[in-house]
Amino acid sequence: MKIRVGFGFDVHKLVEGRELWLGGIRIDHVMGLLGHSDADVLIHAICDAMLGAANMRDIGYHFPDTSADTLNIDSKILLRKTNGLISAKGYRIGNIDATVCAERPKINPHVPAMKACLADILQTDEDNISIKATTTEKLGFTGREEGISAYATVLIEKG
C-alpha cells in the first residue's frame, strides 16, 4: 500500500451580508465569509491537502476564482470533484485532521454535523475525519474577527 500526506490552508475575510458555510454546513452568524465561491475555508483547506498529497497542485489551479463556473459554487461540489481527481489517480482518503481558527461563532457544537457531511461526500467513515476548533486569543485578524482560517492534513492511500 502506498500512502501520501498533504497539507492545506485557507483563509477568508468575514463580511456582513454573506452566509457562513464551514465544513459543508450553514452556521447561523452575523457575518459570512467573502469569496468567489461560498468561501468554505474548511473544505478549501481539505481540498488543498488532498490535491497536495496526490501531487496535483492546488484548489486554485483546478477551480480558479476567475471562472464563471465556480462563481458562488457550493464548496461541497469542489470537494466531490477533488475526491474524483484523486480517485482517478488511484487514491482514497485515509484520514483527515483539520483545525478551524475563529473567535466566533463557536465551532465545536457544529463538528458532528460537519463530520457527517464531509464523510458523506468523501464516501468515508466519520471516524476518518477529525475537526478541531481554536481561537487566537483575540490576536491578529482572527482575534479581531476579520476572518476565519482553516488548516488540514490529509493522508491518502493507494492499493
Smallest Cα–Cα separation from 82: which of 129, 122, 110, 111? Answer: 122
135 is in an annotated binding site: yes
99 is in an annotated binding site: no
137 is in an annotated binding site: yes
60 is in an annotated binding site: yes
| DSSP secondary structure letter of residue 35 | S
92 is in an annotated binding site: no
Dihedrals phi, psi of 85, to nearest 5 degrees: -65, -45
Give the whole-angstrom CA distance, residue 32 versus residue 152.
21
66 is in an annotated binding site: no
37 is in an annotated binding site: yes
144 is in an annotated binding site: yes
Instruction: Answer yes or no: are the C-beta atoms of 95 and 130 closer than 8 Å.
Output: yes
59 is in an annotated binding site: yes
Cell of 67: 471562472
Give the whole-angstrom CA distance, residue 85 versus residue 51.
8
Kindly tell me the number of DSSP H helices and DSSP E strands found in the chain: 5, 7
Give the whole-angstrom CA distance, residue 29 versus residue 13.
14
Residues making up the annotated binding site for a divalent metal cation are 10, 12, 44
Residues making up the annotated binding site are 10-12, 36-37, 44, 58-60, 134-137, 141, 144
